[in-house]
Amino acid sequence: MSNQTLTRAEVTDAIVREVGVTRQESSDLLDRTLDMIGSALEHEDEVKLSRFGNFVVRSKAAREGRNPKTGEEAVIAPRRVVTFRPSPMLKARVDKG
């Protein structure tokens, strides 16, 4: 089992090899794509990438929590979180390994 991390630089290099654009163009393309996804999520839009999955912003209500070090109870503020639901195709690829 591999525990490697795919970095932004590696994705940029892969775009250069696969598409044949310059490294700067590849970096700009990746930056714009990630900015578009981030902006959509910031506005609570759902991001659907076919054959990959969906990113959804979900609201979590305030709740009681406990500091594990001190045992002191505290209120955890409401917040928004991003969740990811993989597509059936991605699930199958990951399951196949």
- The pLDDT assigned to 2 comes to 62
Instruction: Give pTM, 2 decimals.
Output: 0.79
Q: What is the dihedral of CA 11, 14, 18, 19, to 10 degrees?
A: 50
Q: Average pLDDT in the 68-96 region?
A: 95
Contact criterion met (CB below 8 Å) for 77 and 51: no
Tell me which residue of 82, 1, 73 sits closest to 47, measured CA to CA: 82
- The pLDDT assigned to 1 comes to 47
Q: Average pLDDT in the 31-44 region?
A: 96
Q: What would the pLDDT profile of 41-71 be if each residue is shown by its tens digit?
A: 999 999 999 999 999 999 999 999 999 999 9
**Mind listing the domains of the chain with CATH numbers?**
1-43 (no CATH), 56-97 (4.10.520.10)
The backbone torsions φ and ψ at residue 83, rounded to the nearest 5 degrees and listed phi first, read: -115, 155
Residue pointed to by tokens 């076919």: 50
Contact criterion met (CB below 8 Å) for 58 and 80: yes
- The pLDDT assigned to 3 comes to 76
